[in-house]
Amino acid sequence: MPLSHVTLDSLTIRGERALRPVPLYASLKALLHADRFHFRVPEKASVHAHLDRVTFLNLTYWNAREASDVLVDDTIEADVLAHAAWHHAARKALGGDPTPAALFLGESVASAFDLFIVGHMLRQGKGNALLDSQVPAMSAAAMDAGLTAAEVEALLADVAEDPDRAFGVLRALLFDASLALHGCADVDSAAAALERFAAHRFIGLLHHYELSNWVLYARAYAAAPRHDDPALAADRALRAAPSTAGWLEAHWLTG
């Protein structure tokens, strides 16, 4: 086998010191330990043991039904750990063959959590490797979408002021935009769908995320949409909850 299956116990976690104070990180890590979650790791001399190959495998052959996370080696970044844990938590909470809504709910939670992390780290006022990579990438996406440097700075200040609110608002945008795009048959309808979100607070961050992969995967593999979909009920509950992080901890991590 070109890829070995390893649990978190066999991995060195990088950047964890910065994430330890972030709410939910400890619960996400504990979930992967408790369930003996498996990552895939190539041999050191393997042709798969470089970032381009691993990125290709992760983006192209991501599997919503089971864990398929591939690492470059026996190390993992703490934010990557959190992302994998959210997908695992979504699979456990929503179960069955994932519908488009279930796929997009899991993706929107996992991806918006990155902004939650950034907000908490900005509040701490300490530089670290994750901020050094995430903030420039988010800023570049926002400025490509038309925001000025001053507007990006103000946006990040708002995120730092209330990371939980930012988590919930971005999660809802990613979920709504993905569902809307999934229903589009052509370029014109997709452009019109995106136009509906033009005034959204976080529209500048929308294309920082892999929406194309999400939508294409859902169109190829998702089960048929359902009116009684548990993912839709969870989405409504998240919007109504006073705390996005609190609801997810209670219902997906400890519930």
> Does residue 126 have a pLDDT over 80?
no
Task: Report pLDDT for 173.
Answer: 98
In the chain, the amino acid numbered 180 is A
For the chain, the average pLDDT equals 94
Distance CA 31, CA 44 (A): 28
Task: Report pLDDT for 255.
Answer: 59
Confidence of residue 49 (pLDDT cuts 50, 70, 90): confident
DSSP 3-state of 77 = strand
Average pLDDT over residues 118-127: 88
> Does residue 12 have a pLDDT over 80?
yes
Average pLDDT over residues 138-161: 96
Average pLDDT over residues 193-212: 95
The answer to whether 79 and 15 have CB atoms below 8 angstroms apart is: yes
Kindly report the backbone phi and psi dihedral angles of residue 131, in degrees, each rounded to the nearest multiple of 5, phi listed first: -60, -40
> Does residue 66 have a pLDDT over 90?
no
β-bridge pairing 12-14 and 75-77? parallel
The DSSP H or E segment spanning 12 is strand 12-14
> Does residue 1 have a pLDDT over 70?
no
The answer to whether 41 and 7 have CB atoms below 8 angstroms apart is: no
Please enumerate in sequence order all residues whose Cβ is within 8 A of that of 240, keeping only pairs 6 or more positions apart, or say none. none
